[in-house]
Structure formats: C-alpha cells, structure tokens
Amino acid sequence: MYSIEELIDVVDKGILNVSIPHEPSRLYEPIRYTLALGGKRIRPVLVLAACNVFSDSIDQAIYPALAIELFHNFTLIHDDIMDNASIRRNQPTVFAKWGQDIAILSGDALNILAYQLVAKTDKEHLVQVLTTFNKIAIGVCDGQQLDMDFEKAQFVTQDEYINMIELKTSVLLKGALEIGGIMGNAPQADIMRLGEFGKNLGLAFQLQDDLLDTYGNVNTFGKKIGGDIVENKKTFLTIQAFSMAKGQSLKLLNSYFKAQNIDPLVKVKEVRKIYDELDVKTKTEEKIKEYFDNALNALEKINVNPEKREVLSSLANKIMGRKN
C-alpha cells in the first residue's frame, strides 16, 4: 500500500510532466502559474488511494487523477472571477494578475487539458470514467449556479443549502473516489460505497469550513475570520440562526445583515454574539459529526481487508484536520 506522502509525490511529479503548450504565452502562462501554486492535491490523491485499495498498481489511475486536479484548478480560476477574488493560496489570482478575459480563456483551456488527460484512460475503463467525470463537471456547475442564486434569495432552507454544497463541493470528492474504484476494478457495490464515503466527507468538510470562518483561528484558517458574515453569505450557521432566532434576536440579526454602512468588526462581533445565544456552533458541530460518521460508516462497509482502508481513513482525518 502507498502512504499518503507517496501518493502526493506521485501526483506532484505527474503535474510536472503534464504537457502544456508554450504559445500563445498569455494563454498558457496562467495555467503553469496556477498549477505551480500547489495546493493539498486532495482530490487526485483520493483517486489513487481508492484505486490502491483494490489494486497493488496505481499506474493506470494516474491520468484520470491528474485530470481531476486540472479540472479542480479550472473551477478555481473561474470561481475567482465570479467572486472578484484577488488572492488564492496567498498569491494573486489569475484574474487579478492577468485580467478577466485571460482568466476566462485560460480556465477554459485548462478544462480542455483535463479532458485530454481523461482521454488517455485505458479503453477498458474509459467510458465509465468519462461518464463519472462528466457527472462531476455538470454537478459543480449546478452547485455554483445555486450558490449564486442563493446570494439573491431572501430565504434558503437547510435542505437547499445541503443540496447546493453536495453539488459544489462533495461531487468532486465523490467522483474522485468512484473513479479510483473504477480504475482499481472494484465491484460496483464498493464503487458506490466509495462515492457515499466521498459525498459525506465533502459535506462534513464544507460545514467545517463554514464553522471555521466564524469560529476559527486566523493563523490556522488562512484567511480573515468572519468573512462570510461580512459578505452576508448564506452558510449553514446563518441558515440555522435565522431559523431559530425570535423576537429581539431575529430583529437584530435582520438589521445586521441588511446594514449598509456598519464596521465589519462590529458586525462580526454582534452576529457571533447572537450565534452564541442560539448555540449555533454546537448544532453545526453535531451536523459535521453526523456527516463524518456517515462517511466512515460507508468506508467500513467496503469489502476489503480493513488494513487496505487505512489510507482512506487517514486521508479523511487529514482533510478534516483531525489527528486520528
């Protein structure tokens, strides 16, 4: 079995060997820049780790794993345009560095390069891998559109929000694991269990990200705390708070989220105070645990020697920032 570190090394070396044209330079330079920024490589590592559960060799899974990583980075380039974001991984975004037009086109080209890598999948697995990859791609688009729709919606239910993050975030983890299972010739039942593991892990991860945005440590979270509150984003915490608040608490909550000229630090402090009164943090933590437990339960049902599941279990804990 490969260790997590060994799988990351395989991915990093694979990224360096991806063939990217040099001309036109203003089209391909942003792609090289994006891939050189690195990242945790979680998704391609999940592909390889899932494959390794069922196969001693992971060579056959390298092309689709790299395709997943390129596709993920394509979505980030376009997300930054839509979010008007200037910083990604502590560096200027492609959008900020080269402008909107080049960011759009470079993102498009990166997406095509991802599909070129998918096309290198062996013939035995190509149709199933491509079908799964397309489900990932359209799911991410669906989720992004719902996320934008929610920005204008007056009310969003918890179920609607969970559906959105399942599409926008979970679908990529789910699909990565399913593709790994396919490439390892796993039984269909176990491919589905891998997908269930990934879906629930993705949900737990996104809810934890919501929680850390309000209650995290700026030094470990990597960005300012309270950004979602300042931007009036409808996160799990916001939705919980509005569904539970009554009387003066609801009145105050509405006023803070409608205020045009309020000091961001004051807004975060006062909204957090309401969250504390409603015990939103505990309720979010309970939901995170529910999804994480569901993920581990799905993993335990995969019909292999328990030792073969250990890398995926370790990856799940790593993704969630847990020590065990």
62-100 exposure pattern, b = at least 16 Cβ within 10 A, e = fewer: bbbbbbbbbbbbbbbbbbbbeeeeeebeeeebbbbebee
Alpha-carbon gap, residue 32 to 11, rounded angstroms: 15
Alpha-carbon gap, residue 166 to 148, rounded angstroms: 15
Q: Say what the pLDDT of residue 228 is.
A: 87
Alpha-carbon gap, residue 151 to 306, rounded angstroms: 44
Percent of the chain scoring above 90 in pLDDT: 85
At 210-267, the pLDDT tens digits run 999 999 876 555 566 788 898 888 999 999 999 999 999 999 999 998 888 899 999 9
The mean predicted confidence, pLDDT, of the chain is: 94
Instruction: Supply 218's token pair.
Output: 């700026």
Which sign, positive or negative, has the C-alpha torsion 157, 158, 159, 165? positive
Q: Which residue has the tokens 């608040």?
A: 245
- Judged against a pLDDT cut of 60, whether residue 93 lies above it is answered with yes
Instruction: Supply 116's token pair.
Output: 């070129």
Please, which residues bridge with residue 87 across strands?
A: 92
Alpha-carbon gap, residue 188 to 59, rounded angstroms: 21
Q: Does residue 238 belong to any structural domain of this protein?
A: yes
* Of 82, 90, 303, 302, residue with least CA distance to 316: 302
Q: How many residues does the chain have?
A: 324
Tell me the whole-structure pTM to 2 decimals: 0.93
Domain range enclosing 292: 4-319
Q: Does residue 172 belong to any structural domain of this protein?
A: yes
Q: Does residue 185 belong to any structural domain of this protein?
A: yes
Q: Does residue 214 belong to any structural domain of this protein?
A: yes
Alpha-carbon gap, residue 276 to 280, rounded angstroms: 6
- Judged against a pLDDT cut of 50, whether residue 311 lies above it is answered with yes
> What is the SS3 string spanning 56-76?
CCCHHHHHHHHHHHHHHHHHH
CATH for 64: 1.10.600.10
Number of domains forming the structure of the chain = 1
At 95-125, the pLDDT tens digits run 999 999 999 999 999 999 999 999 999 999 9
- Judged against a pLDDT cut of 70, whether residue 67 lies above it is answered with yes
Alpha-carbon gap, residue 10 to 4, rounded angstroms: 10
Q: Does residue 309 belong to any structural domain of this protein?
A: yes
Residue 31 in contact with residue 24, Cβ under 8 Å?
A: no
Q: Does residue 324 belong to any structural domain of this protein?
A: no
